Amino acid sequence: MKNFGMQIADYGLDGGIGDRAHDDAHDAVPAACGLAVARPGRSCRAARIHPSIRNPKSPFRNRSRGVGLVELLIALTISASILGAVAVAMDASFKAYAINQQQAQLGQRARVVMHRLLTTVRQAREHQPVTASLVSQFSIGRNVTDTGLSLFTTEGTEISYFLDTDTNKLMMTVGGNDRVLLYGVTRFDVTFEPMRSASSIKTGGNYDLLKRATFVVTVASTDATTSIGEEQGAANFTLSSSVMPRRNVW
């Protein structure tokens, strides 16, 4: 039994508890195993065990672990969600930029045409609607709204503006020749406010002058104006303005 106790002490199974002779034997074992520093109470077999095996909480044990399947799936799910959100945001920003650019182009063309209409009406004389039924109502002093305007310039040239609903074009007729002012016009309204001239007031005649004209123009994108990648009618622009002929006001 004494010899068996000595063997247990030599293999470190008694945890290093024994008399001084046993401690001296344990002190000599690590050195014999080739260890640089002798640790009392440790046998050769115990010294060869890796620290990560003796202590489960050792940092060396965690370093040897890899990425699990669950962790990999979670990482892929989060990455896919982030990439999807970024793609949706970028797509929305690109569409908004395209629509804003199209509206800017439509607004620029509408303002150019509106400026020409206001300048012509302001300098012209003898304004009236293009629809015959509305001319009679205009002559008795009623405010009427038409899709066209007819006038005479100071040189005596007749000019007419009207909307071609079949082709959505704003047309101008000068001397019997038709010209296109604006494409993609979905709405062109002219509201006439009549007034009487001084001679008509003296004689008690009808309303023969234009006091004020109000224009409303709505332009939408067409095949001829749509940029690449945009749909027809994806953008529209509405512009309105009023003008008073100078001759009638002064």
3-state secondary structure 12-58: CCCCCCCCHHHHHHHHHHHHHCCCCCCCCCCCHHHHHCCHHHHCCCC
In the chain, % of residues over pLDDT 70: 69
Domain housing 29: 2-63
Residue 132 has pLDDT above 60, yes or no: yes
DSSP 227: P
pTM: 0.61
**Residue 56 shares a structural domain with residue 99:** no
**Residue 160 shares a structural domain with residue 218:** yes
Residue 74 lies in a domain: no
Tell which wins on pLDDT, 38 or 100.
100
CB neighbour burial string for 30-51, b if at least 16 within 10 angstroms, e if fewer? beeeeeeeeeebbbbebeeeee
Residue 45 has pLDDT above 70, yes or no: no
* Mean pLDDT of the region 21-29: 46
Residue 71 lies in a domain: no
**Residue 93 shares a structural domain with residue 149:** yes
Residues present in the chain in total? 250
Smallest Cα–Cα separation from 136: which of 207, 204, 191?
Answer: 207
